[in-house]
A and B are shown apart, each in its own frame.
Chain A
């Protein structure tokens, strides 16, 4: 770069009658050895290699310096605490009583009222240091001779609370300075854009309590089905860290009574649970309300239906679905309705006709099934009374009894209910002994041809 040296000269207007000297060439250059060293040599070499004149080189250097400066600017824009500006110290904040720390707005005390739960640990650290430097009691004593360290205590309490992650969560949970008004979404539903805007704000606020981060955004009026479903899934399975220890009643320090303490603790615990439950219900209701009136759900449903119809029509026409005019749509729907109605009527009629017969048959079958047991019992009683068709006096062996009864069971199974009735009547008519056996044998012979009876009968064969 061309450096400009200011010469301590005094210029005067030329004397009268002055004429410029004629232009002449300077003496021929001489030759001297040069050390190839230093930045100036490199600059000269650069101009020679790149064939630049002094002006071009100046322009290049200026450009590169500008670029470097811009780069530096960019780097410094990555300010570690963007927006950590000064905040006005309200008189009511300064006049706070350190004993009332539960009512104290810790963020406002540190000058982080605009950041609140968004404040990072670095923010808190820097803000605390700034406040301490300003409000240290030593400084105040030196300046005013005042011995008032109440606000300093507030600062220390705020710092203590906000740097302890658990305590900070408790405070954030109940931070009364965050507006939690929920607007009436039903009124907003007619304007999808406005609806989404407000819902985004509301759910971003609610999302801060989520254990799972990041929280999906509500999205805008044109969000896809997947996004919308994902959002509602997330909020229906919302896992909140919000807790209500902050509202706990202090255990009375003065009393030594363990019972007192326990009682208060118990009350606190139940109160916490109640509030937590309330909060969960509140969120659930909110999500329900929003889901019910979400204009996007309606939109998505309509879109899906249109897509389905279009597909259907596309298949019927053997071609791609064409968008339907409302009139056509209506006509189509009417036709479909009519066809459906006609079909239904027909079915109804047919049903009514056969119903009587079928019911009668059903009843008879039921009755027969009920009687089967009775009839079978009657037959088996006859068999038992005739001493299982054995000569009188001889005791029937267990196997014989079993065999005969099993065969009887089988016979009853095979026979139609009417035949069983017939068998019972015949057996009862025959009384006991051989005639009854003959009656059974006759029936067995009639079913012998059936495949399930084959070779199964030995006693009554």
Chain B
């Protein structure tokens, strides 16, 4: 029984056919790394999974909530799908704690007191229990990104989408964010991440998906795929990024 099931998904930006029929099954607890060149459609695919991009054709089902050809209950879908962005996107006028509390109180109608408990628990989980009252501009990039992860987790999503979440960070801050993601993975969180951290994808992921020209070009166990790419495109890509 798959948690996320995508079938025959097509997406156009105007006349540009970005996703050309994606089929993907994600099981509970899967940690999926989406890799590929810029423009291959990996971020677009990720963003369709919580409705940030509309779907022109095809079906998306997340834990029983379905979109047929892009139509369905988007808000129900989004309550099941958390998302962490490259640019953190914290709300600058709210403290770290308030950032985490906002959606549970506003969307789920949880009381302020209970939401605060959730927020403290989530901030503790990402190692920032002492930053509850800090504003985003008082935090480092790595800390902001961990707050963003806590904010997504506070909605208790079934699956967490990570869109190049370390790409905007200074190199020395990458590991603290990856450590949090690794922890989530070992706790059984279902993760789909677009990443350029190939070593991380190999070590933490249980499935690697290589996208090329809007299609899943090659996929499988990350270690096997990296060690033995079956297509010249992936071999080329792995060769280009491996050393970096």
Are A and B bound to each other?
A: no
